[in-house]
C-alpha cells in the first residue's frame, strides 16, 4: 500500500514519514472551503487574462457571452468536479479508484499533469507581478513601460522572481489544508475584494473613464453575430479557466469537505464571487486603458504590464495606485498557484504516503525548473500557455464531463443531491445539462483548439 516506503531508499530522507494517509485533513469550516475555491478561481485569469481577452474579442459582446458561459457551462462543470471529489474523499487520481472506475484514472492524471504544467509558467507571470510591486514603489516602470516590460519579463531576474513566487506558494501548501491554504485564503480573498472595489471607485473619478466603461459594458451585438465562431469558444475557454476547472483543483478541494454541504449553493456562490471580482477588475482596467488613449484591442498579454503603467504616469497618485493594483494581482495569483500545487502534493500524500512538507518543497523545485524556459524566453511561456490552457484544460474538462454524465450518471445525481434538501429537482436537470449543452460546448472548444494548434484549416 505504502508505495513511498518501498522506494524510500532512493528518496531524500523523511519523504515518506506521512501521517495523512491514516488521518486525512478536512476544511475547518464551510466558508473556508468556499474561500479557498474562490481563491483558486480568482487569479491571473480574472485580472490579467480576462481584460485582454475581452479587448481582443470585442469588449462587452465578449463579456456577455462569458457571463452566459459561466452560468450554463461553468457552474454545471464545477459541480461535476465537486461530486467526484466529495464522493471519493481522496485526491484526484485515486478518486477514480475510490469510485470503482480505475480505468478512468487517466482523467485525474491528465488534470494533475496539466496543473503541474500550467503552474510552471503561471508562476513566471506571478514573478513579473512581484517585480511590479517593487517597481511601483520606486516608479521605475513609469518612464518607458514598454521597454521596462521587455527588460524584466525574461532573463535571469525573471527566473529569480519566478523562484520567489514558487517559494511563497510552497510555503503555504507545506502547512496543509487548515493551517496553510484555509488560513491564507481567508485573509487573501477578502483583501482582494476590498482593495479592488476601492480601486474601481478610484477609477470612476478619472477623467476620460467613460470611454472605458462604454467599451467594457455596452455590447455590440452585430459584431458578436458576425464573429461568434471566435468569440464563443474564447468565452467558454475563459469561463473554464477562470473557474479553475480541468486541473482537478475542485476535485481535490471537494475531497476535503467533511459535512454534507449544499453543493449547488457552494458552486453558485463561488461562480458568482469569481465573476463579480472579474467584472470589478474590468472596471479598474478599462477606465485606465481609456485614460492612456484606448487601444484596447492591441493590448494583448502585456496589457496590464504595459498599458496600465502607461496610464499610471498620467493619473493622480499613479504609483500608489500601481502598488495596490499589483499587490492585488499578486495575492490573486498566489491563491490560485497554491491550489495547483496542492493538487499534485495531495496526490503523492494521499496515494503514496509522502510527507507533505518535504513533498511540497520537492515538487515546488521541479515546477520551478520546468518554468525556467518560460522565464528565459517569452515565446516558451506562450507555448506552455497554449498547450496548458487551450489543450490540456478543455480536454480534461471534456473527459470529466463524460465521466460524470455517463459513467457516474445516477450516482452523480445522488451525490449532488446529498445535503441539498429542497433542491431535488435540480439534480436531474443538472445531469441533463452536463450531457447536452456542457458536453457539446466543451467538445467544440477542444475541437477548435486542436484545429488551431495543428494549424488545420477549418
Which position's Cβ is nearest ligand PHE? 45
Q: How far apart are CA 304 and CA 63, in angstroms?
A: 18
Q: Which is nearer to ligand PHE, 45 or 364 (CB)?
A: 45
Out of 18, 40, 153, 374, point to the residue binding ligand PHE (CB under 6 A): 40
Supply the minimum distance, in Å, between the C-beta of residue 246 and ligand PHE. 6
Nearest to 375 by CA among 173, 152, 203, 86: 152
Q: Which of 4, 110, 249, 291 binds ligand PHE (CB under 6 A)?
A: 249
* 252 contacts ligand PHE (rule: CB under 6 A): no
- Kindly tell me which residue out of 32, 39, 45, 108 binds ligand PHE, with binding defined by CB under 6 A: 45
Nearer to ligand PHE, 115 or 394 (CB): 115
Q: Is 242 one of the binding residues for ligand PHE (CB under 6 A)?
A: yes
- Chain positions 306 to 345 lying near ligand PHE, rule: CB under 6 A, are 336, 339-340
Among 52, 241, 256, 296, binds ligand PHE (CB under 6 A): 241
Which of 44, 78, 224, 420 forms a contact with ligand PHE (CB under 6 A)?
A: 44
Contact mark string toward ligand PHE, 159..198, x via CB under 6 A? ----------------------------------------
Between vectors from CA 328 to CA 324 and to CA 334, what angle results, nearest 5°?
A: 140
User: CA geometry: angle at 234 spanning 412 and 63, to 5°?
Assistant: 95
* Angle, helix 378-385 to helix 105-138, in steps of 10 degrees: 140
| Residue 369, burial from CB neighbour count under 10 angstroms (0-12, 13-18, 19+) | exposed
Sign of CA dihedral 59, 61, 65, 70: positive
Report the candidate in 230, 242, 241, 228 with the shortest Cα–Cα distance to residue 391: 241
Q: Return the number of the residue (53 or 292) whose C-beta is nearest ligand PHE.
A: 53
Per DSSP, 10 falls in state: G
Let me know: does 49 contact 241? Beta carbons within 8 Å.
Answer: yes
**Which one, 181 or 290, has the nearer CB to ligand PHE?**
181
Name the residue among 153, 147, 155 with its Cα closest to residue 132. Answer: 153
> Is residue 255 involved in binding ligand PHE (CB under 6 A)?
no
Instruction: Return the ∠ at Cα 258 (arms to 255 and 261), rounded to 5°.
Output: 95
* Interacting residues with ligand PHE (CB under 6 A): 40-41, 43-46, 115, 241-242, 244, 247, 249, 336, 339-340
Amino acid at each position: 500500500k505504502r508505495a513511498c516506503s518501498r522506494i524510500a531508499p532512493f528518496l531524500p530522507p523523511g519523504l515518506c514519514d506521512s501521517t495523512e494517509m491514516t488521518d486525512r485533513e478536512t476544511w475547518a469550516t464551510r466558508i473556508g472551503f468556499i474561500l479557498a475555491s474562490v481563491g483558486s478561481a480568482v487569479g491571473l485569469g480574472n485580472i490579467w487574462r480576462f481584460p485582454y481577452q475581452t479587448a481582443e474579442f470585442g469588449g462587452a459582446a465578449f463579456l456577455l457571452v462569458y457571463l452566459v458561459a459561466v452560468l450554463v457551462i461553468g457552474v454545471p462543470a464545477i459541480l461535476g468536479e465537486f461530486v467526484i471529489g466529495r464522493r471519493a474523499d481522496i485526491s484526484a487520481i485515486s478518486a477514480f479508484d475510490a469510485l470503482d472506475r480505475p480505468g478512468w484514472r487517466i482523467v485525474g492524471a491528465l488534470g494533475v499533469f496539466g496543473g503541474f504544467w500550467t503552474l510552471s509558467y503561471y508562476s513566471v507571470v506571478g514573478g513579473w507581478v512581484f517585480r511590479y510591486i517593487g517597481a511601483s514603489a520606486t516608479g521605475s516602470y513609469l518612464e518607458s513601460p514598454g521597454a521596462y516590460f521587455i527588460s524584466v519579463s525574461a532573463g535571469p531576474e525573471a527566473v529569480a522572481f519566478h523562484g520567489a513566487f514558487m517559494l511563497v506558494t510552497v510555503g503555504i501548501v507545506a502547512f496543509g489544508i487548515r493551517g496553510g491554504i484555509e488560513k491564507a485564503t481567508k485573509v487573501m480573498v477578502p483583501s482582494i475584494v476590498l482593495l479592488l472595489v476601492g480601486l474601481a471607485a478610484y477609477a470612476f473619478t478619472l477623467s476620460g473613464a467613460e470611454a472605458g466603461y462604454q467599451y467594457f459594458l455596452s455590447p455590440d451585438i452585430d459584431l458578436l453575430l458576425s464573429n461568434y465562431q471566435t468569440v464563443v469558444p474564447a468565452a467558454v475557454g475563459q469561463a473554464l479557466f477562470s473557474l479553475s476547472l480541468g486541473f482537478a483543483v475542485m476535485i481535490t478541494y471537494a475531497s476535503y469537505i467533511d459535512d454534507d454541504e449544499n453543493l449547488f449553493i457552494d458552486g453558485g456562490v463561488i461562480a458568482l464571487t469569481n465573476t463579480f471580482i472579474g467584472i470589478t477588475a474590468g472596471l479598474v482596467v478599462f477606465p485606465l486603458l481609456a485614460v492612456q488613449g484606448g487601444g484596447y484591442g492591441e493590448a494583448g498579454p502585456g496589457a496590464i504590464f504595459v498599458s496600465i503603467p502607461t496610464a499610471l504616469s498620467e493619473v493622480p497618485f499613479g504609483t500608489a495606485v500601481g502598488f495596490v493594483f499589483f499587490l492585488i494581482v499578486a495575492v490573486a495569483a498566489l491563491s490560485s498557484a497554491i491550489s495547483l500545487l496542492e493538487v499534485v502534493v495531495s496526490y503523492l500524500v494521499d496515494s503514496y504516503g509522502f510527507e507533505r512538507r518535504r513533498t511540497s518543497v520537492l515538487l515546488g523545485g521541479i515546477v520551478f525548473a520546468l518554468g525556467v524556459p518560460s522565464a528565459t524566453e517569452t515565446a516558451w511561456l506562450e507555448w506552455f500557455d497554449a498547450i496548458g490552457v487551450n489543450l490540456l484544460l478543455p480536454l480534461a474538462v471534456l473527459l470529466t464531463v463524460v465521466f460524470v454524465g455517463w459513467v457516474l450518471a445516477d450516482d452523480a445525481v445522488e451525490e449532488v443531491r446529498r445535503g441539498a434538501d429542497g433542491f431535488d429537482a435540480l439534480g436531474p436537470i443538472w445531469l441533463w445539462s452536463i450531457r447536452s449543452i456542457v458536453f457539446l460546448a466543451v467538445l467544440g472548444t477542444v475541437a477548435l483548439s486542436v484545429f488551431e494548434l495543428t494549424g488545420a484549416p477549418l
